[in-house]
A and B are shown apart, each in its own frame.
Chain A
């Protein structure tokens, strides 16, 4: 019989992290069976260990935080919160994947997990009519700011907003939202980071804060208030704002003849319950033939990049990416649209290897394309 070390303090921490729901788990195993990186992650065992306060051996680091298991769980256990609770414990015990520690250092030293120079943060906005304060403040993901391909999505968003007559501002001194810090289980630097980002936002006096990434959205809207950092204006994912502008007639989408499918990013869909707005945008574009993938909305598959996996570059993640790409290919769509920079990067990198003839785009990019 295996021997386990029990830590009662850990048990009560995990109970609290799960909002009490860990007690509802009756070990049916639906989570392990449905886990997208199965057989890599023994979810049921981890839940059992949490119930009794046993230490995790590090399996928690494999979790993509996609919450697919939570949809299948018949009892409503907040599985991903339990896993994050374990990560906090593992972080305190200094048992953290090296890649994540490297990301934390890069965010501290350079303001982004890529380690790209601070002074190049706003290069993407050069030449665009943006202000240092305005109606809509864009909180750009580090990936959108520095990755040359993803800058195109950020630029597209600005251009679409300008066409609608919105005054757009970008943040001077913007830093990473800290999604990877949160997923690493580090709490104290995260607090400082959150508070410093909020003070930068406050300077802009925005009416609304728009994020390009669902991860930034989740951090600013849901996580920051827990660390004493409250955003100075409502935080929206850009698809919510743009969908509203379309339905109110302020933006009139143009023409684009293409068969398009849509991938629900986990942090936009299952994490934030935003399913319809991206679809509204796409379906308002004339000439678009919209088709759903086999798994969509709450049942959407993951891109393989959540939970810090984007930075850890595991081989298990790639299988998840490939499975979703294959689903997209099966729709015979020309374009696979989505609304998350991590998803786009994961899919595009995998396409270099599988070479399917499908193009990955951000929803705002096809909107901009149609407005030409």
Chain B
């Protein structure tokens, strides 16, 4: 394969015309790879009335974007999405196919990998193409404590889904060339359809740069935690017991069954540090904990461990930070 002709396709996920941010992460990463070792990046965008959003994708790294529009593609549905993307792959034969490891991304990639009898690496946290043109990725496993270096050895396109939040979208390049492809979806022949969709605005604190986390030591009273978060422009998170007693929604529950934080700063107030919580603060750059207990388990996972009563420290802290 001639390096310059190498084609990397990136699936661009969208919903009601809003592009999924993690797809941009993959797009920029793909472009960084081709800038370094040659190739062309093509975004694959399915949706409804979406073509106007395609050019902008170039700024995030796409040389070109292929667009397919149909009302049924407005939100993800596995059958028509797999059929259309599969058809495009068959027609155009890209060398690599990447998608963000969102639920829909993994859904789509899992099916297509079998359709093309090709290798698919799952939620990689690092990605490159080696001198032999093979996709090499780092795949975390076993609860995140072990990483496997994996290579695609056969099949085309070589596929991988990319872990969310690992790479950053970069707006460095120029607008993309857009090709709108006609595809008539035979809706009556589909084996599935969406009859209802309920969605509310979620706070996604996995992307927050600063988070103040309330634990059971607050007794469910989040007043001080709220004031502190306002003072330093942070978002709020909670530990599981607080979500359990209904003081906060599960959207902002941190831990192995909740959100994994990627913040620069997390201030954890009144939480002892149970193992399932601690796995959610692994990727935080600086962890500050405030706890009455001189030996709470969270001490081992903190950069700064303040021994004290949060009800005495927080009001004073807020006061001093305001100045």
Residues of A within 8 A of B (CB): 148, 313, 349, 352-353, 355
Which chain A residue lies CB-closest to B275?
A116
A353, B297: Cα distance in complex, Å: 21
Contact check, A353 vs B220: say whether CB atoms are below 8 A apart: yes
A31 to B77, CA, bound (A): 58
Give the complex CA separation of A348 and B297 in angstroms. Answer: 17
| Shortest Cβ gap from A103 to chain B (Å) | 15
Q: Is the CB of B217 within 8 A of A352?
A: yes
Least CB distance, A285 to chain B, in whole angstroms = 26
By a CB distance below 8 angstroms, the chain B residues around A313 are 244-245
B314 touches A (CB below 8 Å): no
Q: What bracket does the count of chain B residues touching chain A fall in?
A: 10 to 19
Instruction: Find chain A residues with CB under 8 A from B245 CB.
Output: 313
Contacting pair A148 B295 (CB below 8 A): yes
Residues in A with CB closer than 8 Å to B297 are: 148
Contacts of B216 in A (CB 8 A): 349, 352
State A212–B272 Cα separation when bound (angstroms): 24
Chain B 242-259 per-residue mask, 1 if CB under 8 angstroms from chain A, else 0: 001100000000000000
**A355: B residues at CB distance < 8 A:** 219
Interface on B for A, CB 8 Å cutoff? 216-217, 219-220, 244-245, 270, 272, 295-297
The complex places the Cα of A355 from the Cα of B292 at a distance, in Å, of 13
B219–A352 CB distance below 8 A: yes
The answer to whether A353 touches B295, judged by C-beta atoms less than 8 angstroms apart, is: no
Q: How far is the CA of A313 from the CA of B240 in the complex (A)?
A: 13
The complex places the Cα of A349 from the Cα of B217 at a distance, in Å, of 9
Chain A min CB distance to B297 (Å): 7
Task: Please indicate the chain B residues that have their CB under 8 angstroms from the CB of A353 in the complex.
Answer: 219-220
Quote the shortest CB–CB distance from A106 to chain B (angstroms): 13
Q: Which residue of A lies closest to B296 (CB)?
A: A148
Which chain A residue has the least Cβ–Cβ distance from B216?
Answer: A352
Q: Closest approach, in angstroms, between the C-beta of A353 and any C-beta of chain B?
A: 4
Complex alpha-carbon distance, A353 and B244, angstroms = 15
Considering the complex, give the chain A residue whose CB is closest to the CB of B292: A352
How far is the CB of B3 from the nearest CB of chain A, in Å? 50
| Residue in B219, B270, B295, B296 whose Cβ sees the most chain A Cβ within 10 Å | B219
Q: How far is the CB of A370 from chain B (nearest CB, A)?
A: 22
Tell me, in angstroms, the Cα distance from A313 to B242 when the chains sit together.
Answer: 12
> What 11 additional pairs, Cβ within 8 angstroms, besides A148-B296, A148-B297, A355-B219?
A148-B272, A148-B295, A313-B244, A313-B245, A349-B216, A352-B216, A352-B217, A352-B219, A352-B270, A353-B219, A353-B220
- B-chain residues with CB within 8 Å of residue A349 when the two chains form the complex: 216
C-alpha gap A332/B94 in the complex (Å): 78
Closest A residue, CB atoms, query B270? A352
CA distance A337 to B272 in the complex (A): 24
A-B contact pairs, 14 of them (CB 8 A): A148-B272, A148-B295, A148-B296, A148-B297, A313-B244, A313-B245, A349-B216, A352-B216, A352-B217, A352-B219, A352-B270, A353-B219, A353-B220, A355-B219
B244: nearest chain-A partner, CB-CB = A313
Question: Across the interface, which residues of A come within 8 angstroms of B295, CB to CB?
Answer: 148
Q: How far is the CB of B168 from chain A (nearest CB, A)?
A: 36
The residue among A313, A349, A353 with the most chain B CB atoms within 10 A of its own CB is A353
| Closest Cβ neighbor of A117 among chain B residues | B275
B270 CB contacts on chain A under 8 angstroms: 352
Of all chain A residues, which has the CB nearest B311?
A355
A313 to B219, CA, bound (A): 15
Shortest CB-to-CB span from B307 to chain A, Å, is: 15
